[in-house]
Amino acid sequence: MKKVMFVGETRVGKSSLIRALSGEEYTSHRAMAVEYVGRFVNTPGEFLENSWFYNALITTSADCDMLVFVQDATRGSSLFPPLFAPIFNRRVVGVVSKVDAPEADVARAERFLNNAGARDIVYASVVTGEGLDTLAEMIG
């Protein structure tokens, strides 16, 4: 089984995706600590929001087979730096979350993820279940 690390800003839906994919009752404790849920690794949003913590993301990814960059489709900006994905030397899948929201701009979110270096993009909603099967298949 692949170990998968989720990266994204605070409140983009990382914990919800992990809960939906794992089938476990999981609630993030938001203690600015890395959390492990089975084979999933949930990183704090602050690790992406503050470049001083990029080294923590890189170090945590060392034990992972794949990364999932999560971008909220309702946000007008992104904190993923350009070409961020290649520094991890792992497969990076981009997930556009909250695609069911009325204010979602999926094309903008996809551009943010492409600029960050994610080439495989999945559109997902934990509310409707859209994209969860595709994501589960991609992460193995």
Instruction: Note whether 49 and 76 are within 8 A (CB).
Output: no
pLDDT at residue 23, as a whole number: 86
CA 41 to chain centre: 10
pLDDT in tens, the chain (140 residues): 799 999 999 999 999 999 999 988 877 776 789 999 999 999 999 999 999 999 999 999 999 999 999 999 999 999 999 999 999 999 999 999 999 999 999 999 999 999 999 999 999 999 999 999 999 999 98
Q: Which domains does the chain have, with CATH numbers?
A: 4-139 (3.40.50.300)
